[in-house]
Structure 1
Amino acid sequence: MSRPLLFLDVDGPLNPYAAQPERRPAGYTTIRVALTPGRPLRVWLHPDHGRALLALDYDLCWATTWMDAANRWIGPVIGLPEIPYVDFTGALFAERPDGVHWKTERIVAYAQDRPFAWVDDEQSPADDAYVAARHPAPALLRHVDPRLGLGEDDFTALAEFTAGLPR
């Protein structure tokens, strides 16, 4: 059996963008990213997150609007190698009448029948229900507070999820 996937959102879990404005959280570094012309985006990243993510028993995958840009801007700062990403082209911010997040359908399709965990700050019970109804393998949707970013409780929950999977 292959390892489970860990889908990573950037803004919220890795970049606690909703923390107090202009007050970088302890242990984080600031980068400025010009994804589009105009004012650069401020991003707070914790250099230890990459090592902690790589220590988990998952195959990592970006699940973010950054898509492949996460490999250029985010991964190197936190110590991640280049990893695959879910291509959300054509789906970005598309509202669904059932309340399911616009990422969820593509994440389930990408995972195929593999177990997965997904860390994001925008999931809802509608996403849990969608995944439960359409994904045959175990899945953990882990909501991360965008004011705090990934913390010890999140890493513990991710490790416990993989520990509970059949081998």
Structure 2
Amino acid sequence: MPRMDAGGEAVRPLLFLDVDGPLIPFGGLAPSRRGGTEGSTDAANPLLNRLDPAVGRRLAMLGYELVWATTWDEDANEDVAPRLGLPSLPVLPWPEPSEGDEQDARAGRHWKTRPIVAWASGRAFAWVDDEITRADREWVAAHHDGPALLHHVDPRVGLGPEDFAVLAEWAESPER
């Protein structure tokens, strides 16, 4: 049964999306998933040709509220979302560097971890990134009041069927 808010509306979990690695894989040169050879359709940023529109359809079907958690910032809505067939998504704003960033770096935590937990504000969330560590998982477990799934994606291949299976199972889990 889905979680409900005070008004009886279903509350979908958040899914924080990194672009480089999960959505734009860094594996070897391969034919573009859009047809042609890599780099042939977007001279401004040839890596955009590695985006797979099927990934966008699969993300949309998962039942999460999608949020960009990437240094692409608004460029993710301008350059990535249309190629994936996604609407414009909320963009997690990154705070100015602080002393907490130095503490996070020394502890092996990603600089995105604190802002993601702050944005989620106790709400269930999943985060897909290619730089998630055990230290991030431990920090989230200690500082986030809701369920969370921090899912590491292999940056050489990006989000694949196994990743989508994990995300779907977690979103539908009664323990979540």
TM-score range, shorter chain: 0.7 to 0.9
The structure richer in helix per residue is: 2
**Percent identity over the alignment?**
49
TM norm structure 1:
0.86
| One-letter amino acid matched to 1:125 | R
TM norm structure 2:
0.82
| One-letter amino acid matched to 2:172 | A
Question: Structure 2: which 5+ runs fail to align?
Answer: 5-10
| One-letter amino acid matched to 1:141 | L
CA distance in 2, matches of 1:155, 1:57: 12
Q: State the Cα deviation string for residues 84-140 of structure 1 (Å, max 9, x = none).
A: 011114249x55221110000000000001100000000100000010000011110
Alignment of 1:7-156 (within 5 A): 7-17=16-26, 19-20=27-28, 23-24=29-30, 27=33, 30=38, 32=42, 34=44, 40=45, 42-43=47-48, 44-91=50-97, 95=102, 96-156=105-165
Question: Structure 1: which 5+ runs fail to align?
Answer: 35-39
The structure richer in strand per residue is: 1
Q: Describe the SS at the equivalent of 1:97.
A: helix
| One-letter amino acid matched to 1:71 | N
CA distance in 1, matches of 2:95, 2:15: 20
Q: 1:67: Cα distance to partner?
A: 1.2
User: Does the CA-based 8 Å contact 1:3-1:57 persist in structure 2?
Assistant: yes
Equivalenced residue count is 158
Runs of 4+ with deviation above 6 angstroms: none
Q: 1:41: Cα distance to partner?
A: 5.5
User: Does the CA-based 8 Å contact 2:95-2:115 persist in structure 1?
Assistant: no
| One-letter amino acid matched to 1:68 | E
Q: Does 1:164 align with 2:176?
A: no
Q: Describe the SS at the equivalent of 1:117.
A: strand
User: Does the CA-based 8 Å contact 1:114-1:137 persist in structure 2?
Assistant: yes
Cα 1:136–1:66 shift into 2, 3 Å: same
- The root-mean-square deviation of aligned C-alpha atoms, in Å, is 2.2
CA distance in 2, matches of 1:134, 1:82: 29
